[in-house]
């Protein structure tokens, strides 16, 4: 490249390593990202996913310890949808929505259908 990579470039490389399971290059990209922004929880989460995909549980545990020691907290997953012109935002394990019981019932039903078709969760 004619110029040095920034956070976006290193982040894209780290995500590509997650998608392709490349531990060695992922570690290099994560190291560079930590130099640029050591408090970005996404770096640790992506690297943890790479390690987990290769069943490198000791490295996953080590990353969790580093995050805890540095006071880095993972941001909760968030989704939003628009229904009839109204926006609804959902956080992981959030039960504050007035219809959360119905929503979780539908999600459970979807999960059961997926499982009956052979889906296996890696989480």
Q: pLDDT digit string (tens) for 42-52? A: 999 999 999 99
**94 falls within a domain:** yes
Domain enclosing residue 44, as ranges? 7-70
| pLDDT in the model for residue 22 | 96
Clarify whether residues 13 and 38 are in a common domain: yes
Instruction: Indicate if 99 and 50 belong to the same structural domain.
Output: no
Tokens at residue 16, please? 């590509």
pTM of the predicted protein model: 0.64
Whether residue 85 is found in the same domain as residue 107: yes
Residue 21 scores a pLDDT above 90? yes
What is the total count of domains within the chain? 2
The reply to whether 17 and 60 lie within a common domain is: yes
Within 8 A by CB and 6+ apart from 29, the residues are 10, 11, 13, 14, 17
Do 15 and 66 have their domain in common? Answer: yes
Residues 65 and 83 in one domain: no
Across 64-73, 84-93, 109-118, least confident range: 84-93
Give me the chain's average pLDDT, please. 90
More confident residue, 16 or 80: 16
Question: How many Å separate Cα 63 from the centre of its chain?
Answer: 14
- Asked whether residue 95 is assigned to any structural domain, the reply reads yes
């Amino acid at each position: 490249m004619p110029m040095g990579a920034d956070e976006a470039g290193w982040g894209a490389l780290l995500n590509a390593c997650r998608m392709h399971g490349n531990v060695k290059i992922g570690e290099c990209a994560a190291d560079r990202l930590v130099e640029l922004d050591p408090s970005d929880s996404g770096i640790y989460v992506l690297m943890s996913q790479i390690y987990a995909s290769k069943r490198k549980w000791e490295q996953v545990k080590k990353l969790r310890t580093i995050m805890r020691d540095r006071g880095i907290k993972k941001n909760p997953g968030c989704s939003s949808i628009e229904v009839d012109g109204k926006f609804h935002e959902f956080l992981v394990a959030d039960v504050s929505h007035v219809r959360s019981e119905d929503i979780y019932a539908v999600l459970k039903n979807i999960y059961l259908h997926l499982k009956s078709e052979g889906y296996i969760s890696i989480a």
